[in-house]
Amino acid sequence: MAKQGKIRVLIAKPGLDGHDRGAKVVARALRDAGMEVIYSGIRQTPEMIVEAAVQEDVDVVGLSILSGAHLELLPLVTKGLKKKGRGDALVIAGGIIPEDDVPALQQAGVKAVFGPGAPTKDIIDFIKKESAK
Amino acid sequence: MTSKTKQEWREGCLAPVIKRSPERQDKFETTSGIELDTVYTPEDLVDFRYVRDLGYPGEYPFTRGVQPNMYRGRIWTIRQYAGFGSAEETNQRYRYLLEQGQTGLSVAFDLPTQIGYDSDYPQAKGEVGKVGVAIDSLQDIETLFQGIPLGKVSTSMTINATAPVLLAMYIALGKKQGVDPSKLEGTVQNDILKEYIARGTHIFPPRPSMRLTTDIFAYCAKNIPRWNTISISGYHIREAGSTAAQEIGFTLANGIAYAKAAIDAGLEVDSFAPRLSFFFNSHVNFFEEIAKFRAARRLWAKIMKERFGAKDSRSWMLRFHTQTAGCSLTAQQPYNNIVRTTLQGLAATLGSTQSLHTNSFDEAYAPPSEEAVTVAVRTQQILAHENDIGNVVDPLGGSYYIEYLTNELENKASEYIAKIDNLGGAVVAIEQGYQQREIQDASYSYQREVESGQRAVVGVNKFVSPYPKITGLIRVKPEVEKRQRERLAQLKKERDNSKVSQTLRCLEDVARGKDNTMPAFLECVEAYATLGEICDVLRKIFGTQREFLVF
Amino acid sequence: MTSKTKQEWRENCLAPVVKRSPERQNKFETTSDIELDTVYTSEDLTGFDYLEDSGYPGEYPFTRGVQPNMYRGRIWTMRQYAGFGSAEETNQRYRYLLQEGQSGLSVAFDLPTQIGYDSDHPLARGEVGKVGVAVNSLQDMEIIFDGISLDRISTSMTINATCAPILAMYIAVAKKQGLALDKLDGTTQNDILKEYIARGTYIFPPKPSIRLIADTAAYCSKYLPRWNYINIAGYHIREAGATATQEIGFTLADAIEYVKAIVDTGLDVDSFAPRISFIFQTHNNFFEEIAKLRALRRLWAKIMKERFGAKNPRSWMFRTHIQTGGVTLTSQQPMNNIARATVQALAAVLGGIQSLAVSCYDEGHCIPTEESVRQSLRLQQILAYESGVTDVVDPLGGSYYIEWLTDELEKRGAEYIAKIDSLGGAAAAIEQGYQQKEIQESSYRYQKEIESGQRIVVGINKFISPSPKITLLRVGPEVEINQKNKLAKLKKNRDNTKVNQTLKRLENVAQNNDNTMPAFLECVEAYATLGEMCDVLRNVFSTQREFLVV
């Protein structure tokens, strides 16, 4: 998906949780790193996130989730993206996600999971590296 | 509505509340039996004068700390007491700790080493490598510090009766590494008096022991100026069951005895006093411990200045290492020990300690595992770097309660010192069993309080519950003893035995006379004489000391 | 030799040392950018007047504590936040905690419950029972408190947008247990403003939301005199990234807004103010946190006395619960969290708080296990019974540093309040995105400090080492399925005409200005579900979209 111009990122919070510090900090950091960032706000359903990703034609979808509903909700986002022909979008996740759940999420198409304490630089580097592929 | 005096408040505001619902205890006391009022106010500090009683940090009487900016300059030294099994294993642990961000080393020796027996001595059976590392000769010290440049670390050695021998080995290794003795930094505990009082690893009677102590003072003053020649220890006195006030009183009384002995040996006070250092316990009663450290600093400054007429301000400074209270750890619910250790570590840093050992949560079972010791080191790093404890010097200074408690502890400790002076000083008092008896009484009444439930120990006599099994415990294997003996036998075969005999004879001569023993020790260890051989020479000349039994 | 003034000392004693070896940092600051001097002395407190600024504990301005003897009388309430999965599992956890020596309960609800959706709502998918217990109807509440007599414990419920119906359920359980309402002891969070600022579980716009709060205030003042009907929260504001001074300023500004709103409904301030309570956080910076709690007490007392003219001393008292900083926990090296929590809990206790929850070492991974929550409880018990810190009231009072820092935090907190006043109060400022923007700035800067290494987080950007694996607690998908089945069965078996009747009446009451609490109680007792009640209100009040500020 190597493209010209700025990388476009959607940062979204699936589910009902309202703890948005991490999502907003990451959004700011990606913007400061030269990406174009769209922040969805809280309480997004998987369908709404897919819709926004398609409409905004983003390269990357970053999902922040702390409530423990990740195994249920994140695969719905990746499935939805595939259905809409956007299976190429890079999907990454962050939040309270136990290590044991990471393989299942990766199998569902989530490319990387960044837990508490992950430096924003790692996220930026990962996105840049994947986008250059 | 608003009270003007404490008395008015007590009657108008406090009394009705207590009448309505009684308090948890009839009275509240510290471990030293200081009865505590409900609240402290400026009225409790009427005679208090800032410059006289507190002063500024880095200035006499040093209540607020010995450096003007304390941890703003440098965080305390994180120094975990470590050592077990063979010199190889211990060396690995040291390298691990240095990698984890530890800033100084602290050597634990096994009991045969502490009492001057080689690993092949019959009574050493079963003890080799158990509570610390086994050292028989310079060879073991070489292995112990393999790959660790002595010019770059500071090393503390918990060694007393055999301190001059181990120090000589350390110097010899430094020479082999090409490090000039004047560059060596560290501490030998070298505090024999508290061994008679509390810890028990003495060999000789008090008087020849004191001579060895002062020999180290004199030798280091001349040759290793940055070495702390003694670490006068309250830690073990406290572990043996003393109160906080006894811990300061007995320890400073020992300090006085050493200073006197050194002066009697012809040393000038300011030539050795700046290198005296101390070692205290940080126990469970949070504020009493903080106040204790502050009181000890003020009291020692006064003693050195007024009693001994020291002129160098460095002679007035009480610098100390702290270890959190081993005796407060419980085998039950071991993670509770992380909580205890954190509180005790915090108290030590709020008391402006120079270096700190935090106990590991599994120490009630075994020598600490790597995982447990990592948590202990991390605890200190959290205090230093996340909790920002070190950003302001003596942050509690001025607190009515802390200042009151500091005064009280200083008073009580001074009374113990006066009592010991009366008996003729620390050595005589020990010979009469005074300190031992006092500690036994305190320890017994503490135990009774725990057993009656008056003093709570969480997980032991209150809030008892099943707890998870700790895994990964360190066990010292019997092979260690076997290997150590084999190595010793080989050493004895391969070294130049006539040179060994010669140096040992020379040591015998010096010990019989009045000269400083340190150079003779150095010659012995460099010839690879063993610790046991060296101590046998001294046992013959000095005799051995039986326990001062007090019951 | 001995300096007489700080200036003299600075020049003669400090300067040469700093010149010889530079300090670790060029300057030392708290998290609120308060620059710190090397040492504090009596000179830093020249204007300090003991009676006026400190006073005695139990007396205005309560800097030293709200009770004269504090923990000598009674230890703070140990109240671990708990709840997950089904009502049955949660009930078991509560019984376990009470048996282990906990002294109060604290209910965590799942997100659908917090936002007024039943477990079978499409938006509830994947969320049922995850961050707390799922409550659809009175039936679930009955199970949660099965075998726990409500007059013997105090219960705190972290519930905001749906506070009124949930409180009604609690009251209904008490009635079923045959208890008089004036025996009920506890707290409902009921703080909607911080939901808009930081936490996100709001439903309706601010105005009708505040009306619901005023309704609970009026109802409780009359029928539940021992109930803390509001628990104004700085916790989540701090958790969202605010500094300590923002936490003080924004939270008390919210409180001012509530007091105003309730006074506007015609209640006398002293009739409801004594039951206002707070929840704050203790974060890492040990002394700033202690000073924060002392500053909060003094500032609130002044606000209530001077601004609102309250006459009853109990109206002046700032009483607070503390939860240690969830945001400070790391998933790396989880046992380090015990050390963090110990220091933070100690700060809370030295700050003179009323109740305490200690975050658990595994919360960087999952909902706490029995083992980790017991560890948090033991931590509190060690502080309470071993450490001796409970023996003297406000032990740090008089410390030059602490008193200076208390003043500084109070001053800076008051400046934020003045700023919010000038924007038209907390609700108006939220609508303008003021607090949200301020918090975002702070949290972004904090993150940058960590990433640049200027701020050290042990195990994260320094002292990294492998973490041992720990056992995690998981809420399985069967919880959601069971909960849906239970709900379907309830809807079939209850008296549905009666449900409709009571919901109709709720609609009428909501449309006019009567107190909604009695109507909620009727609905609840007819086993109307939370979702059904909230749907009625969504119709009447409409819903609030996020105040987006990026």
List CB contacts (< 8 A) between A116 and chain C.
Answer: 329-331, 364
pLDDT for residue C283: 97
Q: Which of A1-10, B338-347, C66-75, C223-232 has the lowest average pLDDT?
A: A1-10
pTM strictly above 0.80? yes
List CB contacts (< 8 A) between C201 and chain A.
Answer: 16, 18
B323 found inside a domain: yes
Do B16 and B97 fall into the same domain?
no
What's the CA gap between B413 and C397, in Å, rounded? 25
What tokens does A88 get? 């190429």
Alpha-carbon distances of B226 from B69, B276, C154, rounded to whole Å: 21, 11, 60
pLDDT for residue C549: 65
How does strand B320-324 pair with strand B355-357?
parallel
Do B85 and B29 fall into the same domain?
no
List CB contacts (< 8 A) between C98 and chain B.
Answer: none
- Secondary structure (3-state) at A115: coil
Q: Per residue in C45-75, pLDDT tens?
A: 998 999 999 999 999 999 999 999 999 999 9
- Secondary structure (3-state) at A126: helix
Cis peptide upstream of residue A75 (ω within 30 degrees of 0): no
Q: Per residue in B400-459, pLDDT tens?
A: 999 999 999 999 999 999 999 999 999 999 999 999 999 989 988 888 888 888 889 998
φ, ψ of residue C530 in degrees (nearest 5): -60, -40
pLDDT for residue B370: 86
Report whether pLDDT(B475) > 80: no
- Secondary structure (3-state) at A91: strand
Nearest-Cα distance to chain B for C515, in Å, is 36
What's the CA gap between C297 and C196, in Å, rounded? 25
Binary contact (C457, B386; C-beta < 8 A): yes
Facing residues of C219 across strands?
none
Instruction: Name the residue in chain A with its Cα closest to that of C471.
Output: A98
Binary contact (C100, B37; C-beta < 8 A): no
List CB contacts (< 8 A) between C125 and chain A.
Answer: 69, 72-73
Residue to mutate among C463, C464, C467, with most B CBs inside 10 A, is C463
Report whether pLDDT(A2) > 50: no
Instruction: Name the residue in chain B with its Cα closest to that of C330.
Output: B382
Q: Per residue in C314-344, pLDDT tens?
A: 999 999 999 999 999 998 999 999 999 999 9
If you classify domain A8-132 with CATH, what class do you get? Answer: alpha beta
What's the CA gap between C503 and C488, in Å, rounded? 18
Binary contact (A39, C548; C-beta < 8 A): yes
Host H or E run for residue B187:
strand B185-188
How big is the A-C interface in CB pairs under 8 Å? 107
Where does residue C384 rank: exposed (0-12), middle (13-18), buried (19+ CB within 10 A)? buried
User: Do residues B343 and C390 lie in contact, with contact meaning Cβ atoms separated by under 8 Å?
Assistant: no
Binary contact (C336, B379; C-beta < 8 A): yes
How far is Cα of residue C219 from the mean position of the Cα atoms in its chain? 22
A57 and chain C in contact, CB less than 8 A: no
Residue to mutate among C9, C12, C56, with most B CBs inside 10 A, is C56
Residue to mutate among C128, C331, C340, with most A CBs inside 10 A, is C331
How big is the B-C interface in CB pairs under 8 Å? 312
Binary contact (C56, B374; C-beta < 8 A): no
List CB contacts (< 8 A) between B64 and chain C.
Answer: 39
Nearest-Cα distance to chain B for C89, in Å, is 20
A59 and chain C in contact, CB less than 8 A: no
What's the CA gap between C69 and C59, in Å, rounded? 11
Task: For domain C45-452, give the fold.
Answer: TIM Barrel (3.20.20)
Instruction: Name the residue in chain C with its Cα closest to that of B31.
Output: C388
A125 and chain C in contact, CB less than 8 A: no
Binary contact (B57, C39; C-beta < 8 A): yes
What's the CA gap between C105 and B149, in Å, rounded? 56
Do B337 and B435 fall into the same domain?
yes
Report whether pLDDT(C12) > 50: yes
CB atoms within 10 A of CB C371: 18
Residue to mutate among C382, C407, C456, C471, with most B CBs inside 10 A, is C382
Q: Per residue in A24-51, pLDDT tens?
A: 889 989 999 999 999 988 889 999 999 9
pLDDT for residue B107: 95
C330 and chain A in contact, CB less than 8 A: yes
User: Do residues B24 and C74 lie in contact, with contact meaning Cβ atoms separated by under 8 Å?
Assistant: yes
How does strand B227-228 pair with strand B185-188?
parallel
Binary contact (C73, B28; C-beta < 8 A): no
Do B121 and B177 fall into the same domain?
yes
Report whether pLDDT(B102) > 60: yes
CB atoms within 10 A of CB C514: 12
Mean pLDDT value of segment B151-175? 96
Whole-number average pLDDT of chain B:
94
Nearest-Cα distance to chain B for C96, in Å, is 11
* Identity of the residue in C57, C400, C458 whose CB atom sits nearest the CB atom of B382: C458
List CB contacts (< 8 A) between C461 and chain A.
Answer: 119
Where does residue B371 rank: exposed (0-12), middle (13-18), buried (19+ CB within 10 A)? buried
Residues 75-94 (A) with a CB less than 8 A from some CB of C: none
* Identity of the residue in A41, A45, A98 whose CB atom sits nearest the CB atom of C546: A41
pLDDT for residue C466: 82
pLDDT class for B137, splitting at 50, 70, 90? very high
Nearest-Cα distance to chain A for C379, in Å, is 24
What tokens does C410 get? 């109070």
Do B37 and B88 fall into the same domain?
no
Instruction: Name the residue in chain B with its Cα closest to that of C1.
Output: B59
B58 found inside a domain: no
User: Do residues C155 and C227 lie in contact, with contact meaning Cβ atoms separated by under 8 Å?
Assistant: no
Domain that holds residue B225: 63-452
C130 and chain A in contact, CB less than 8 A: yes
Report which of residues B463 and C137 the model is more confident about: C137
Binary contact (A67, C477; C-beta < 8 A): no
What's the CA gap between C104 and C74, in Å, rounded? 13
Q: What is the dihedral of CA B384, B385, B389, B394, to 10 degrees?
A: 70
Mean pLDDT value of segment C538-546? 94
Do B89 and B121 fall into the same domain?
yes
pLDDT class for A1, splitting at 50, 70, 90? very low
> If we measure between CA atoms, which residue out of B175, B167, B170, B180 comes closest to residue B219?
B167
Facing residues of B322 across strands?
B280, B356
Domain CATH code at residue B251: 3.20.20.240
Report whether pLDDT(B474) > 80: no
Total structural domains within chain B: 2
What's the CA gap between B235 and B189, in Å, rounded? 11
Report whether pLDDT(C550) > 60: no
A54 and chain C in contact, CB less than 8 A: no
Binary contact (C56, B13; C-beta < 8 A): yes
* Identity of the residue in C239, C331, C550 whose CB atom sits nearest the CB atom of A24: C550
User: Do residues C386 and B330 lie in contact, with contact meaning Cβ atoms separated by under 8 Å?
Assistant: no
pLDDT over 90, % of chain B: 83
List CB contacts (< 8 A) between B383 and chain C.
Answer: 339, 343
Binary contact (B51, C3; C-beta < 8 A): yes
Task: Please list the alpha-helical segments (H only) found in B240-394.
Answer: 244-264, 269-272, 286-302, 313-316, 336-350, 370-381
Q: Where are the domains of chain C?
A: 45-452
DSSP string, B497-543: HHHHHHHHHHHHHHHHSSS-SHHHHHHHHHTT--HHHHHHHHHHHH-
Mean pLDDT value of segment B67-83? 93
A104 and chain C in contact, CB less than 8 A: no
Q: What is the 3-state secondary structure (H, E, C) of C178-240?
A: CCCHHHCEEEECCCCHHHHHHHCCCCCCHHHHHHHHHHHHHHHHHHCCCEECEEEECHHHHHC
Nearest-Cα distance to chain C for B488, in Å, is 37
pLDDT class for C98, splitting at 50, 70, 90? very high
Nearest-Cα distance to chain C for A92, in Å, is 18
Whole-number average pLDDT of chain C:
95
Binary contact (C131, A68; C-beta < 8 A): yes
Report whether pLDDT(C268) > 60: yes
Q: B163-176 vs B518-526: helix axis angle to the nearest 10?
A: 60
Binary contact (B21, C73; C-beta < 8 A): yes
Nearest-Cα distance to chain A for C56, in Å, is 39
Q: Per residue in B428-439, pLDDT tens?
A: 999 999 999 999
DSSP string, C60-106: TT-TT-SSSSGGGT-PPEE--EE--BSHHHHHHHHHHHHHTT--SEE
Nearest-Cα distance to chain A for C87, in Å, is 18
DSSP code, position C467: P
Binary contact (C127, A116; C-beta < 8 A): no
C408 and chain A in contact, CB less than 8 A: no
User: Do residues B285 and B244 lie in contact, with contact meaning Cβ atoms separated by under 8 Å?
Assistant: yes
User: Do residues B347 and B356 lie in contact, with contact meaning Cβ atoms separated by under 8 Å?
Assistant: no
Nearest-Cα distance to chain C for B545, in Å, is 39
Instruction: Name the residue in chain B with its Cα closest to that of C61.
Output: B2
Instruction: State the complex-level ipTM.
Output: 0.93
Mean pLDDT value of segment C185-213? 95
Instruction: Count the helix, strand and coil residues of chain C and give each as a percent rounded to the nearest 5.
Output: 55, 10, 40
Where does residue B27 rank: exposed (0-12), middle (13-18), buried (19+ CB within 10 A)? exposed
What's the CA gap between A24 and A104, in Å, rounded? 26
pLDDT over 90, % of chain C: 89
Nearest-Cα distance to chain B for C127, in Å, is 31
* Identity of the residue in B17, B313, B339 whose CB atom sits nearest the CB atom of C69: B17
User: Do residues C144 and C82 lie in contact, with contact meaning Cβ atoms separated by under 8 Å?
Assistant: no
What tokens does C128 get? 């049922």
